[in-house]
Amino acid sequence: MILLVSPIDRANECARALHENTGEEVVVVENLRRAATQLRSNSYLAVVLDQHLLETEPDEIDTVMQHLGTAIPVQVNLAISGLDRLVREVRAAVERRKREEAAARRAAVGALHSELNGPLTALLLECELALKVPGLPATAAEKLQSAHELVNKIRAQLETV
């Protein structure tokens, strides 16, 4: 969902163009105070801020920025920008965010895999060694075998992520 913040008459036209070109639902509000309210109650992919509001409502911009969450702020002068430029800038910002999120996700998975690989290997080895203990009661062997299978399952899941 995209939040478009602009008092201009053609804001709905801009919203329609954004929706048609991004496939995202677009919510239009006319000032920064209402934008802050929307940001408190909903999650947005991007927040398109009309440059005019940033100049005429400077006290409200801090409140909006505090409530952005993961939304991408895109500043555009809608009084002089055409619809093509608006769509291009929003699309570029959204694509940039998606690339950043994918890179962060890959880095997190890699770090998790690195951190857990050693302990998982140690658990597997300990289970295998414990299963070879002579005279191990059958119920203990079953529990160790179950733990061994669970650790193997976790390791397989980490490999596929």
Q: What is the pLDDT of residues 118-159, one digit of tens each?
A: 999 999 999 999 999 999 999 999 999 999 999 999 988 888
Residue 123 confidence (pLDDT): 93
Domain boundaries, the chain: 2-102, 106-160
HEC string of 87-127 equals: HHHHHHHHHHHHHHHHHHHHHHHHHHHHHHHHHHHHHHHHH
Q: Which is the CATH superfamily of the domain at 2-102? A: Response regulator (3.40.50.2300)
The pTM score is 0.70
Cβ pair 148, 102 in contact under 8 A: no
Helix (H, G, I), strand (E, B) or coil at 139: helix
Rounded Cα distance between 2 and 4, Å, is 6
Helix (H, G, I), strand (E, B) or coil at 75: strand
